[in-house]
Amino acid sequence: MTHAYRAPEPWTPTAAEHQARGPRTPGEAVLSTPITKVTIPHLGEQVLPRGRLMSVFDEVVVDRPVTLVAAPAGFGKTSALVQWCCHTETTVGWLTVDEFDGDPRRFFRHVVAALQVAAHGDDRPDAGPLLDIAFRDPIGRWPEAASWPDHHDELLRALEALEAPLVLVVDDLHLLAGAESREIMARLIRLTPGELHLLLSSRSDPELPLHRLRLAGGLGEVRERDLAFSDHEIDRLAAMTGPSLSPEVVRSLSALTRGWPAAVRMALLTVEHEPDPVYRLAGMQGIDLSLTEYLTEEVLGSLRPALARFILRATIGDRIDAGLADTLHGGPGGAELLAEAARRGVFLAPQTDTDGEPSYRWHPVFASQCRAIMRKESPEIVRELHRAAANHWRARDAVEAVTAALAAGDADLAADVLTERWPELLVRSDSSALASLCHKIPASLSEDAEILQLRAVGELLDGRPTDGTMGRARARAGQLPPGRRHRFALIDVLVSNFLAPGRPGPDEAVRRGSAALRDVADAPVARALGHLLVGEAAAQLQGDPSTSVGHLHEGATLAVQHQLPAIAFACRASMSAPLFMSGQFDEADSLARDSIGRARRTGQHWASIVVPAYLTSGLADFWRDELVSAQRSLDQVVRLATPRQAGYRLHAVTVLALIAVANQDAASLARAHALATQNCETASPYLAGFVRMVDAIEADARGNEERAVAEVRTLDSSEQHPIANLWGAELHRRSGDAAGAWAALARIAPEQRVGHVDVAATLTEALLEHDRGNAGEAQRRLELALEAAGSFSIRRPFVERGPDLRGLLDDHHARGNRHVGLVADLIDRMQQPGDGHRKRSYWELTDREHTVLSYLRSPMTTTEIAEALFVSSNTVKTHLRAIYRKLGAGGRRDAIRIATERHAL
């Protein structure tokens, strides 16, 4: 669907529009995808609205399976695509290709991540199969075997399930090296499902099977002639940027540049203050130099000398901020010159970094020409500027710092930055950047013990064997000086116990990690990472919350002191979980939501560092009986949790199973059960207990009370999570085993009976006392539960026990009390459909759903069933979706089989 292009004068996408199109937490593939790769880029200032070009895209994109946008650098391909993304009503995913995408597994994961971001960001109801695509083995690792052919068919099936168009923009496709990566793109082009549309942007025609598609009329093409500025657009751009040009000057400028957007912008800067622009432009016609090179010099020549000198030095890298501007300028004043360049529109695009600080990126054509000028005139100054940039970014961006150090020819500085600052890349889930930087280190340092160690970490995170590389690293560790040797030893302990396959359970990992932190007093960056990993694991153990909070607080302090924004953020987000466990319900929820908000503002809400915050906010919503928002947050936990966060994931899966029972959603319950089984780390009895609890929930929901009770009895251990003991106590009570219920409640340690746990436990005790005939004691305990619940807006324990608790609440209400409003709200919730415990062997179908189900045994199509029932095909499809959800079926045949087994047919 498209609409007529409307844009204010001048037009630029608002922050809200960018936010609406930005990525929200999608699926598993984003775990190794830098956020900038799947984010629609920001446009700079003075954006020219291009209604004509938007109409071209509207005509060719959604009507054809593949559209190619091909033109040289500087033709504004990316800017035009960003404008169209904000203009169209179609769901759009974005993937920026880089030189590292020659690895086919990496490239395929990024394709999936871009699609997942788009589908999730638009809340697509048909996106379930797409969001469920995962690349992990049953214990959550990224195995080498999980290469793209293993999942390509799964991706195609998920795309076939789409019911509305989805466009995938693949930008900078000319950078896609490697035959296997190109084959991924080629196969997607050949087998593109009906609702997927590929929008490919490249500086040249890519080596892809487009010719046959072109002959068949299935290829849309946008070329230089479409992207070039018209005379009218040049005139409008000139009016926006400053000089007012006569029609004669506009025609002259158009003839000189042939509408090449980058050249037009450069030329406009050169004539901005010219008294006779026609004469100046005419003098450019016979120049025997590269147009962009000449115009770059002309742009610089049109600026005041101080600004021109600054720009030549400031374009040494693609990215710049105010601090670096001062450094490259050689002192104060650089930030003001940078602001002036931005105001004048000298090819700067604003962006917000992951640490929330504003910065800019230079237009690559302009910056590359400036660098060529600098290299020609002052090669030694260029090296010094690169070295200055490396030292500036060292404290904020390891990738930029190492890249700049290598450009300066300073391999020692590059290696020093990488070995010190790499934990930030780990926490940001940017394993691909870590691996690529390790391989860029010159051969003279490639056998350094710490470089080998980091290369092994990169292999580990990418699911490849690490024994050989790590073995060589350990063999050379003794050659390191004492400080680096201590850092190596601490990292070795952290990797072995928190990241590597075959690592111990979280309890043993916490013990070993804590000991290593006590042994190493230096290496502050590694220590900050260590405190994060230990604190996070301790939080998942649900033991003493103060242990977890202590480590996370120390990690955050070190991270702030040493400018590690990702680690500092992760520590603060992780702190919400132990605070919630300790009963600080509101404080934990507030911290969690603040962390999620910060993550959204800085583009990190897709990363694993936000998992504890999503878990805390999801749990808070669950206990408040806000099941829709709870499910949304807990789904994020399941999708984003890394293997070291298995405790968070299993906790979320367990609560999702309870939500599925409350919603009578058999398909979601089956999914939760499968997730729990596939992600169990049996090394930890504590985590395995979550899996047995989900088994019991699933059995009980399907009416198999005997198996549910048997599963619960395997949980009779004081080490289990309070939620397991609470649910087990309720199961025992409902099955008539009062002694078992009291025993389960007794296994909840006194320090764990806080807030929500105490409310739920006290309610079960009230019901047990009522069953004993102790009406007075039952009412007393109900009063205690109401008192505690009112403080934190806790509602779920009452609703779950609704059928049995209703009589007690009615009596309490009739007597009159100070919780009148709360009790009235609880009674109202209990009357709403879909809540409370269910003991059905299958979820009920409506009469019309039964009728549709009966037709499924025939060979009739959906359209024929609709005609037989005198309804629309869409109505039948709606009934089919409800039938499949309630039966937990994957399709027509599966539904017939399940319904027959359950005597629903």
In sequence order, which residues have a C-beta less than 8 Å from that of residue 487 and are 6 or more positions away? Answer: 419, 450, 520, 522, 523, 526
More confident: 345 or 333: 333
Distance CA 579, CA 545 (A): 7
CB 290 within 8 A of CB 315: no
Q: Report the run of H or E that residue 772 belongs to, with start and end.
A: helix 755-772
Most trustworthy range by pLDDT among 32-41, 426-435, 697-706: 697-706
Backbone angles phi, psi at 96, to 5 degrees: -95, 120
Question: Residue 142 pLDDT more than 50?
Answer: no
Confidence of residue 719 (pLDDT cuts 50, 70, 90): low
**pLDDT score of 618 more than 70:** yes
Q: Which residues, 6 or more positions from 564, have their beta carbon under 8 angstroms from its beta carbon? A: 421, 423, 424, 525, 528, 558
Flag the least confident range among 374-378, 597-601, 662-666: 597-601
10: cis peptide before it, omega within 30°? yes
pLDDT value of residue 836: 44
Amino acid identity, position 109: R
Gap between the terminal Cα atoms of the chain: 41
Q: To the nearest whole number, what is the mean pLDDT of the chain?
A: 81
| DSSP-based three-state secondary structure for 167 | strand
Helix (H) / strand (E) element for 166: namely strand 166-171
Counted residue by residue, the chain has a size of 905
Least confident of 40-49, 134-143, 482-491, 711-720: 134-143
Question: Do 415 and 395 form a contact (C-beta atoms < 8 A)?
Answer: no
- Residue 271 has a pLDDT of 67
Q: What is the mean pLDDT of residues 174-183?
A: 88
Alpha carbons 119 and 776: distance in angstroms, whole number: 54
Tell me the pLDDT tens digit for each residue of 210-257.
888 888 888 999 988 899 898 888 888 888 876 677 788 788 778 777
**Tokens, residue 172:** 């900078």
Structure-token pair, residue 150: 């293993």
Cα(545)–Cα(574) distance, integer angstroms: 12
Query: How far apart are alpha carbons 726 and 715 in whole angstroms?
Result: 11
Joined together, the tokens standing for residue 402 give: 């190492």
Label residue 880 by pLDDT band (50, 70, 90).
Answer: confident
Percent of the chain with pLDDT over 90: 24
One-letter amino acid for residue 804 of the chain: D
* CA 726/CA 759 separation, integer angstroms: 10
Place 557 in a pLDDT band, splitting at 50, 70 and 90. Answer: very high
Question: Please, which residues have CB within 8 angstroms of residue 385's CB and are 6 or more apart in sequence?
Answer: 313, 316, 328, 374
Asked whether the predicted pLDDT for residue 822 surpasses 80, the reply is no
314 and 320 Cβ atoms separated by less than 8 Å: yes
Kindly report which listed range (168-172, 307-311, 436-440, 535-539) carries the lowest average pLDDT score.
436-440
* Closest by CA position to 228, among listed 46, 9, 52, 467: 52
Question: From the CB of residue 298, how many other CB atoms can be counted at a distance below 10 Å?
Answer: 18
Cα angle: 122, vertex 126, 131; to 5 degrees: 75
Q: Give residue-wise pLDDT tens across range 678-710.
A: 755 444 666 777 888 888 898 888 878 888 888
Residue 66's beta-bridge partner residues? 198, 219
Read off the amino acid at residue 98: D
For residue 167, name the pLDDT band (cuts at 50, 70, 90).
very high
Q: Name the most confidently modeled range: 157-166, 473-482, 542-551.
A: 473-482
Distance CA 760, CA 731 (A): 13
Phi-psi region of 441 (alpha: psi -120 to 50; beta: other; left: phi over 0): beta
Q: Does the pLDDT value for residue 754 go beyond 80?
A: yes
d(CA 899, CA 905) in angstroms, rounded, equals 6
Average pLDDT over residues 173-182: 88
- Please, what sign has the CA dihedral across residues 51, 52, 53, 57? positive
Helix (H) / strand (E) containing 440 = helix 431-440
Which pairs from 784-791 meet CB under 8 Å and 24+ separation? 785/758, 785/759, 786/812, 786/817, 786/819, 786/822, 786/823, 787/819, 788/755, 788/758, 788/759, 788/762, 789/759, 789/822, 790/819, 790/822
Residues 297, 725: Cα–Cα separation, whole Å: 74
